[in-house]
Homo-oligomer: A and B are copies of this chain.
């Protein structure tokens, strides 16, 4: 976050900054979604909806699980939220009361810990390492509930069906599947393919590109629906109405095929960035299979990746995220590169890094 702030300051002062720090896809939302939204604004009075979302959207999402994963879920299990963050927050509240204590991977998405702290709940971090592909395995389990993130931020690692299955037998999984759809090798299975005793958190801000529209969903077991509804009524009232109606078109073939073409774009960027970073001397112990991040070992250059990120920013105008933003487990030797910028910028950024780190310019 401090890197982002400093990057903005530099940019405001006229410096050219290459943004390898952002976690927001840069590609535009498909036209068909925008057109629908423009119609809805004119024709629908945007009042509150049901607190867990409009029925037609729940139905579309349930159908999507059938088509994309061959999973049969009821629309009643689908809870539409004002972004995946409030969805996850509500889930963490309910499962911590009804199931037990929650743990999460370190390094991992920092909001998990912050949300649990917000809820005034004790939580436990589980160190994960390159040796296990930054993934949690059976022997690491410490609590009744485990948050998984697959594909993962910051590593892009994907849990296999077998891995999900083994974990789900021992622990209640809250599976953050927000990067589903953005997969470059193999397939990312949903936790619901192996168990129905789990929660899926997902949303429209990554694969569907609808970041500023603030819309997400969770799929919960039937017994959680009433509690989730009560929580969301109290903390959020309802998700944005326009976004819900516009999102109905997301699941039409015209839209899905455009979004799938985007995945090719991200894949090319990943390949370009992986190759460039390795040439510069970054070690990448786990290459990303999904999401849009590369978690790179910077031991070659520093033993303090936090200062390194700031130094690189000041010297080259390339913004990267220090590992510390993702936890405490050996994060001093990692930084995260994001490929939410176009190939031209990626090339420019890599060149600047090469000149600075290899040629001292």
Interface residues of A (CB under 8 A from B): 1, 24, 28-29, 34, 37-38, 41-42, 45-49, 82-83, 85-86, 89, 93, 110-111, 114-115, 118-121, 205, 210-214, 230-231, 233-243
Contact of A240 among B48, B119, B243 (CB under 8 A): B243
| Complex: A269 Cα to B150 Cα, angstroms | 54
Copies, count: 2
Q: Which residue of B lies closest to A236 (CB)?
A: B85
A234-B85 in contact given A38-B42, A45-B29, A212-B242 (Cβ < 8 Å)? yes
| Complex: A239 Cα to B213 Cα, angstroms | 8
Please name all residues of chain B whose beta carbon is closer than 8 Å to the beta carbon of A242 when the two chains form the complex.
Answer: 37, 212-213, 242
Please name all residues of chain B whose beta carbon is closer than 8 Å to the beta carbon of A210 when the two chains form the complex.
Answer: 46
B46 and A41 contact, CB distance less than 8 A: no
A213-B237 in contact given A34-B42, A86-B86, A120-B120 (Cβ < 8 Å)? no
| Complex: A233 Cα to B85 Cα, angstroms | 9
Please name all residues of chain B whose beta carbon is closer than 8 Å to the beta carbon of A49 when the two chains form the complex.
Answer: 212
16 inter-chain pairs at a CB distance below 8 angstroms, sorted by A residue, are A24-B47, A29-B45, A34-B42, A41-B41, A47-B212, A82-B86, A82-B236, A82-B240, A110-B234, A111-B234, A118-B231, A120-B121, A214-B237, A214-B239, A214-B240, A240-B243
Contact of A83 among B46, B211, B237 (CB under 8 A): B237
Contact of A119 among B34, B46, B82, B118 (CB under 8 A): B118
Q: Which residue of B lies closest to A93 (CB)?
A: B118
| Complex: A65 Cα to B166 Cα, angstroms | 57
